[in-house]
Amino acid sequence: MKGYQYLLDYFENSPTIIQVLWVMIVLFIVIIIILIIYLKLLRSRLRKKEKIVVQYQNEYESYLISYLYSGNEEEEISAEQQVIVNKLKSCVPDKFKRHVVVSTLLRLRNEISGEMAESIQKLYFQTGLINYALSSLKSKKWYVVAKGIRELAQFHVKEVNAQIVIHVNNSNKEIRKEVQLYLVTLFHFEGLKFLDVLQTQLSEWDQIQLLEVLQRFDEQEIPNINKWLKSTNDSVVIFAIKLAKIYNQFEAKDTLLELLEHRQKKIRVEAIQVLSHLQVYEAKELLKNKFDKLSLEEQIAFFKLLENVFESSDESFLQEHIQNKNFEIQVSALKIFKLLNIEKFHSFKRLLLAPKDAEIIEFIENN
């Protein structure tokens, strides 16, 4: 009691700064204690949640499997299936449980096809899960919208196409990405129509994902890519070049040749690469004539092209470049020379004296 009185007196007689400091000290201690208690609660909640997720997941997994195996051909839905639908339906209003149900369905939906995949989709409708995804489209939070679109794509809900297409030029990058994936996942090449109206840039990541989805389908009937190659949106052009390469679009050859004059260097380089892949001889002559005006990247890409389409008439051009300062061009030139004129290639051994050159020649000779 006495000590307490002493502290109080000390505090009251101290200068203001010290008083402020002590108030802050007490405040900090209180905050720390509150945080410690909260941390304890948080940790046990997280632990519990993890256990429950596994438990729910196992439960829903077995529901799902028995649903899939208890269907029959006569009825739209068998009695046993109805029981399971009702059980799941009762879980769905709970946000947490709904999340686990959806992820369980998806884990299987993404891996299988055929009748069973269709059954899973049916279950998605029957349990009313679809309604939650649809209502999320109206949310103000971007990640809720994006997640909703993704879910609809994963369950192949084509019917809501119109509600999703309106987001093609949404200001949020993630939403746009999900819209694009939705369209391509469900409508394949037909879905690429969004490229006609896209105002924003497609990132490399978006492009890879779209191509990845497209490659899952067997159809090789790809739409005319010329209008995309001519797009004013540079990223659409680059994407179209990738399409041309993957699906060997010889038909687009002329438009691709035009791209060699594009104002963007990146596009010019990619155009050379795809022309090289398609082995277009015209490209060679065009580029050879203006070789000195090309940027280094284009020159390197051109030599890669030359490796595919060289002819004996290129010999004198190549000879100019067997000592090119650029390593890749030099290696390319010598490599082609070896195939074109082996005797002359051997004569270089005496010609090129620098040890670095000798090393390259020796390597090319042996490989």
Q: Amino acid identity of 363? A: F
Which of 86, 131, 203, 313 touches other proteins by CB under 8 A?
Answer: 203
Residues 18-37 contacting other proteins, CB under 8 A: 18, 21-22, 24-25, 28-29, 31-32, 35-36
User: Smallest gap, in angstroms, from Cβ of residue 65 to other proteins?
Assistant: 6
Q: Are 251 and 281 in contact (CB under 8 A)?
A: no
Q: Quote the CA–CA distance of 159 and 271 in Å, as a whole number.
A: 38
User: Smallest gap, in angstroms, from Cβ of residue 305 to other proteins?
Assistant: 18
Residues 146-165 contacting other proteins, CB under 8 A: 146-147, 150
Stretch that binds other proteins, among 90-98, 113-121, 123-131, 312-320 (CB under 8 A): 113-121
* Closest listed residue to residue 193, CA positions, set 165, 233, 217, 220: 165
Q: Quote the CA–CA distance of 228 and 207 in Å, as a whole number.
A: 14
Instruction: Check the CA dihedral 225-230-233-237 and report its sign.
Output: positive
Q: At a CB cut-off of 8 Å and minimum separation 6, what does 151 contact?
A: 102, 106, 133, 136
User: Smallest gap, in angstroms, from Cβ of residue 354 to other proteins?
Assistant: 13
Q: Amino acid identity of 130? A: I
Q: Quote the CA–CA distance of 158 and 270 in Å, as a whole number.
A: 34
User: Smallest gap, in angstroms, from Cβ of residue 115 to other proteins?
Assistant: 7
Residue 108 in the binding site for other proteins (CB under 8 A): yes
Residue 188 in the binding site for other proteins (CB under 8 A): no
Which of 12, 73, 74, 113 touches other proteins by CB under 8 A?
Answer: 113
Q: Are 80 and 88 in contact (CB under 8 A)?
A: no
Which of 8, 208, 342, 358 touches other proteins by CB under 8 A?
Answer: 208
Residue 328 in the binding site for other proteins (CB under 8 A): yes
Number of residues that bind other proteins (CB under 8 A): 67
* Closest listed residue to residue 225, CA positions, set 207, 240, 204, 247: 240
Q: Cα angle at 128 between 127 and 134, to 5 degrees?
A: 145
Q: Quote the CA–CA distance of 234 and 65 in Å, as a whole number.
A: 47
Which of 6, 125, 281, 363 touches other proteins by CB under 8 A?
Answer: 363
Residues making contact with other proteins (CB under 8 A): 14, 17-18, 21-22, 24-25, 28-29, 31-32, 35-36, 39-40, 42-43, 46-47, 50, 61-62, 64-65, 68-69, 104, 107-108, 110-117, 143, 146-147, 150, 174, 201-205, 208-209, 211-213, 215-216, 235, 242, 246, 327-328, 331, 356, 359-360, 363-364, 366-367
